[in-house]
Copies of this chain bind each other. A is one copy, B any other.
Amino acid sequence: MTRRTRQRLQVLELLEETEEFCSAQQLHARLRERDTGIGLATVYRTLRLLADSGEVGRVRLPSGEQLFRRCDSGRRHHHHLVCRFCGGTVEIVSPATEAWAEEVAAVHGYLDVTHTLEIMGTCPRCAVNGPPAE
C-alpha cells in the first residue's frame, strides 16, 4: 500500500542521522543541499505520514509550527524535554504522570482521553555557548 520511494527513504535517512527536533522546512532545505530535488510538499506529506503512524516524534511550538524527530523510544508513548534554541532533546517516560492524566480525566467523566506535554528550556550547552549558528 505504502510505497518505498527514493524520497521517503531519503527523509528517513536524514531523520536517522539527526539528533534534534527539526521543522519540515529545515529538513527540506537540508535534503535540497544534498542533491535530491525533493519537493517541499513531499517532505510535509512524508512527515505527516510518519508522525501520524507514530513512526517519528512530533512536537508543536507555541507558534504552532511543528518539529519532527526520530525517537529512541520508538512508538512507545513518551514526552520531550526540548531545548528552545538548538532543538536538542531528552526523551521523558513517566508512567506516573500518564496515570495521573488518565485519572484526572476519568474523575471528570471525560472519555477518549489524550494529552500533550512538552517541557521547554535552555539546554546546558546553549546556556553556555549561546544559540548555535550565530
Contact = CB atoms under 8 A, between A and B. Distances in A.
Contact of A120 (B64, B94, B115): B115
- Oligomeric state, in number of copies? 2
A123 interface: yes
Contacts of A108: 81, 90, 123-124
Given A64-B60, A116-B116, A110 B122 contact: yes
Given A64-B64, A81-B108, A110-B124, A119 B101 contact: yes
For chain A, the bracket of interface size reads 35 or more
Interface in A115-134: 115-124, 127
A47 interface: no
Contacts of A104: 81, 92, 94, 119
